[in-house]
């Protein structure tokens, strides 16, 4: 069986999705679409498939496909996702959307509600947790190697000089970090307190410190920056900075660096420290596009129920709600409950 895929939005990321689908032995890109004709034409040639200049013309063409990726961008990298996603869901197609699910909560809610109403799979490319190292860390956690988890700390910083909106940094970058933290906390966030700072010469809130209380009592902290890259050139060379995750439990701690590059288990009392580099053969964050997209393909081919999709639209909406709560917390000077 082959999953036939259409991709809407043929920028760098849409083309990346296309390569990942075609690398999967049971997936094939059968259509691409971009409102910029040149981008659609170029991608159609690269993938050897039909190109379209609007979602409507793609739908009207009658071309057979089983699922779509929506890799548009827009305001805060998420403003354009809503219209094509609603069109595709309305027409009955499962959608894998890019992050942020949207820069607007009302739009995110509408997409999640439509997918639910139509019983369609709706996933978001929250790719950072789709690594063999993250899977091993999760296994450690589930088999009790950390004991009772008390705290989760995460750092995510990159260099991004984009100044287009005051909260661009929170809304565009931190769906990733907050999703990873929630995945390991195993619970939704109940309360958020955040403080922000504009970097030197910047107009946007490019540095953030966020405290989180999860519903199961775990406490978390996120430090994020768009003024990052202090000497660390992993996570994609020049533009990417550093990603670290620390999970502290009653019996042990694990540390995960750059999503896949280094994973260390530290026992609290006795036992041996266990250290893995590039566990499972993954050496770079860039490879997470392949693992995440392959997982989406596999879940579709296996007919996984829409509410069992990993990194779903509902997950994307939840992290966006945490982000809006952090912004509200900074604006009000208060802790915000979700
Ligand atoms: N998951 C990750 O790790 C990761 C990394 C980088 C970027 N992203 C996300 O990927 C998305 C795309 O990023 P990009 O850099 O490729 O953006 P881009 O702006 O280069 O490309 C988006 C394309 O979508 C097209 N488009 C917009 N509206 C359309 C519509 N209604 N129909 C058809 N085409 C339409 C635009 O013309 C453009 O060519 C963003 O949401 C970004 O946040 C994710």
Pick the closest to residue 100 from 338, 322, 255 (CA basis).
322
Neighbours of 315 (CB within 10 A): 22
Residue 21's Cβ-side half-sphere holds a number of Cα atoms within 13 Å equal to 28
Distance CA 186, CA 205 (A): 29
Q: Identify which of 20, 35, 27, 21 has the alpha carbon closest to the alpha carbon of residue 2.
A: 27
Task: Read off φ and ψ for residue 297, nearest 5 degrees.
Answer: -60, -50
Q: What is the pLDDT of residue 235?
A: 52
Mean pLDDT within 44-57: 98
Mean pLDDT of the chain: 96
What is the side-by-side order of every strand in the sheet holding 122-124?
50-52, 27-33, 3-8, 67-70, 95-97, 122-124
* Residue range 237-249: mean pLDDT, rounded: 79
Say how many Å lie between the CA of residue 280 and the centre of ligand 1: 30
Residue 79 alpha carbon to ligand 1 centre in Å? 10
Mean pLDDT of 34-40: 98
Mean pLDDT, range 93-101, rounded to an integer = 98
Q: What is the mean pLDDT of residues 188-212?
A: 97
332 pLDDT higher than 90? yes
Nearest in space to 262 (alpha carbons), one of 132, 71, 108? 132
Express each pLDDT in 131-165 by its tens digit: 999 999 999 999 999 999 999 999 999 889 999 99
Token representation of residue 269: 């009392």
% of the chain at pLDDT higher than 90: 93
Tell me: pLDDT of 237 over 60: no
**Section 76-81 average pLDDT:** 97
Nearest to 155 by CA among 172, 176, 127, 133: 176
pLDDT band at 228 (very low <50, low <70, confident <90, very high): confident
pLDDT for residue 231: 61
Q: Which domains does the chain have, with CATH numbers?
A: 3-127+290-311 (3.40.50.720), 129-283+320-337 (3.30.360.10)
First to last CA, the chain: 42
Dihedral angle over CA of 280, 285, 290, 291, nearest 10: 50
1, with CB counted inside 10 A (0-12, 13-18, 19+), is exposed
pLDDT of residue 242: 85
Q: How confident is the model at residue 232 (pLDDT cuts 50, 70, 90)?
A: low
User: What's the rounded mean pLDDT across residues 247-270?
Assistant: 96
219 lines ligand 1 (CB under 6 A): no
What is the spatial distance between Cα 214 and Cα 187, in angstroms, rounded to a whole number? 6
Band of residue 229 on the pLDDT scale cut at 50, 70, 90: confident
3-class DSSP state of 150: strand
The predicted pLDDT at position 318 comes to: 98
Residues 6 or more apart in contact with residue 227 via CB below 8 angstroms: 157, 159, 199, 200, 202, 206, 207
Mean pLDDT of 225-240: 64
Cβ–Cβ contacts within 10 Å for residue 86, how many?
18
- The Å distance, Cα 15 to ligand 1 centre, comes to 10
Residues 283/284/286/289 CA torsion (nearest 10 deg):
50
Which atom of ligand 1 is nearest to 9's Cα?
A: 24
Dihedral angle over CA of 264, 240, 174, 296, nearest 10? -80
Q: What is the mean pLDDT of residues 266-273?
A: 95
- Cα 84 to ligand 1 centre (Å): 12
Determine the atom of ligand 1 nearest the C-alpha atom of 55. 32
Q: What is the mean pLDDT of residues 185-204?
A: 97
Minimum CA distance residue for ligand 1 atom 36: 9
- Ligand 1 atom nearest to 39, measured from its CA: 39
d(CA 316, CA 106): 13
Q: What strand order describes the sheet that includes 274-277? A: 274-277, 262-267, 252-257, 240-249, 149-158, 219-225, 207-214, 189-197, 336-337
Q: Kindly give the number of the ligand 1 atom that is closest to the alpha carbon of 15.
A: 16
The whole-number pLDDT of residue 240 equals: 56
Instruction: Give buried/exposed letters for 131-158 (b at 16+ CB in 10 A, else e).
Output: bbbbebbbebbeeebbeebeebbbbbbb
- CA 225 vs. chain centroid, Å, equals 17
Q: What is the reported pLDDT for 238?
A: 46
Q: How far apart are CA 334 and CA 223, in angstroms?
A: 18
Q: What's the pLDDT band for 208 if we cut at 50, 70, 90?
A: very high
Secondary structure tally for the chain: helices H, strands E: 9, 15
CA angle 109, 72, 260 (to 5 degrees): 90
Is residue 241 very low, low, confident or very high in pLDDT (cuts 50, 70, 90)?
confident
Least confident of 8-12, 94-98, 119-123, 232-236: 232-236
- Which pLDDT score is estimated for 234? 55
């Amino acid at each position: 069986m082959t999953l036939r895929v259409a991709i809407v939005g043929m920028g760098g990321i849409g083309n990346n999705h296309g390569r990942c689908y075609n690398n999967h032995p049971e997936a094939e890109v059968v259509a691409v679409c971009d409102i910029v004709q040149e981008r659609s034409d170029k991608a159609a040639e690269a993938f050897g498939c039909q190109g379209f200049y609007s979602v409507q013309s793609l739908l009207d063409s009658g071309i057979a496909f089983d699922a779509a990726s929506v890799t548009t961008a827009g305001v805060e990298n998420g403003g354009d996702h809503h219209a094509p996603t609603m069109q595709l869901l309305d027409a009955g197609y499962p959608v894998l959307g890019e992050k942020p699910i949207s820069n607007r909560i009302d739009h995110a809610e509408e997409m999640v509600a439509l997918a639910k109403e139509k019983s369609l799979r709706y996933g978001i490319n929250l790719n950072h947790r789709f690594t063999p190292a993250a899977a091993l860390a999760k296994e450690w956690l589930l088999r009790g190697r950390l004991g009772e988890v008390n705290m989760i700390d995460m750092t995510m910083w990159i260099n991004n000089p984009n100044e287009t909106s005051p909260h661009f940094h929170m809304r565009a970058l931190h769906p990733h970090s907050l999703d990873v933290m929630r995945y390991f906390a195993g619970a939704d966030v109940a309360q958020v307190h955040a403080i922000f700072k504009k970097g030197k010469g910047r107009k946007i809130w490019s540095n953030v410190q966020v405290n989180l209380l999860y519903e199961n009592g775990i406490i978390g902290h996120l430090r994020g920056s768009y003024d990052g890259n202090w000497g660390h050139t992993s996570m994609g060379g020049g533009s990417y900075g550093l990603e670290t995750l620390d999970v502290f439990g009653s019996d042990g701690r694990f540390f995960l660096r750059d999503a896949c590059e280094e994973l260390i288990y530290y026992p609290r009392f006795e036992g041996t420290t266990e250290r893995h580099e590039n566990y499972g053969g993954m050496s770079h964050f860039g490879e997470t596009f392949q693992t995440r997209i392959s997982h989406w393909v596999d879940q579709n081919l296996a007919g996984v129920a829409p509410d069992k999709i990993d990194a779903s639209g509902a997950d994307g909406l939840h992290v966006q709600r945490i982000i809006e709560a952090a912004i509200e917390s900074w604006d009000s000077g208060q802790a915000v409950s979700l």
